[in-house]
Amino acid sequence: MATSTVENYLKATLLYEQKHEGIVPMSALVEALGVVPGTVTTMVKAMAAQGLLEHEARQGVRLTPVGCALALGVLRKHRLVETFLVQTLEMDWSEVHVEAEALEHAVSNRVLEKIDAYLGHPTVDPHGDPIPNAEGVFATSATQATMQDCTLKKSLRVTRILDQSADFLDYVQDHGLKPGASVKILKREEASGVLQCELVDGEEIILGLPAAAKIVVGGAA
């Protein structure tokens, strides 16, 4: 059995691989796991010896097929638990990430599949992040743009929030930009770095472009 530390290293590696091309630098794991560089080197070597990672000296790591399968299992637990905490226990949307971080290592597959069934086999979590199925496969979803690079003056649906920080999530929630919400981008100014959008209820919001890049929107709403 993988310890929860090993599971965290696997999950961090997977998340980085999903966002970037090529090898995962050690510094990415240092950042994600909040440990000093030497610790990452030590752990990575041990995990490579176990066949969970490939370690290219002075370059970084890549998940092996075995490591990838385990990492997908952890991600599945994390996202299903988050969904459960929000939908069933009605917890605050911005506080469940921390809770899921602990529970993902304690929930057995048996309990997990009960939760999955109880929720009706959801394919995305409350942030809109996709949930892999028990075989590690993600449901294919339409290609999606963010509020920073989508078409203007068209009614769009928010499908995903690419930031887990409580601050940003609180902001998003307070302004009704949660997944499912319908928005229309009115104006986007590269010069000033801000963007203006409108909700269904007519409320207008001004967002910085970096923030806008964290909000994914799907096809027409």
Partner DNA sequence: GCCTGTATTTTGATTAGTCAAAATATAATT
Partner DNA sequence: AATTATATTTTGACTAATCAAAATACAGGC
Interface mask toward its own copies for 118-157; x: CB under 8 A: x---------------------------------------
Q: Which is nearer to DNA, 17 or 129 (CB)?
A: 17
Q: Which two tokens stand for residue 60?
A: 């970084």
Q: Is 85 in the site for its own copies (CB under 8 A)?
A: yes
First to last CA, the chain: 45
Q: Is 204 in the site for its own copies (CB under 8 A)?
A: no
153 binds, among its own copies, DNA, none (CB under 5 to 8 A by kind): none
Residue 16 CB, shortest distance to DNA, in Å, is 12
Cβ(138)–Cβ(107) under 8 Å?
no
Q: Which is nearer to DNA, 54 or 99 (CB)?
A: 54
Residues of this chain that interact with DNA (CB under 7 A) are 3-6, 25-27, 30, 33-46, 55, 57-60
Radius of gyration of the chain (CA): 19
Q: Which is nearer to DNA, 44 or 75 (CB)?
A: 44
Q: Is 14 in the site for its own copies (CB under 8 A)?
A: no
Count of Cβ atoms closer than 10 Å to residue 36 Cβ: 9
DSSP codes, 182-207 = EEEEEEEETTTTEEEEEETTS-EEEE
Q: For residue 61, with 0-12 CB atoms within 10 Å meaning exposed, 13-18 middle and 19 or more buried, which class applies?
A: buried
Query: Rounded to 5 degrees, what angle do the CA atoms 42, 44, 82 make?
Result: 120
Q: Is 110 in the site for its own copies (CB under 8 A)?
A: yes
Q: Which residues bind its own copies (CB under 8 A)?
A: 85, 88-91, 95, 99, 102-103, 105-108, 110-111, 114-115, 118
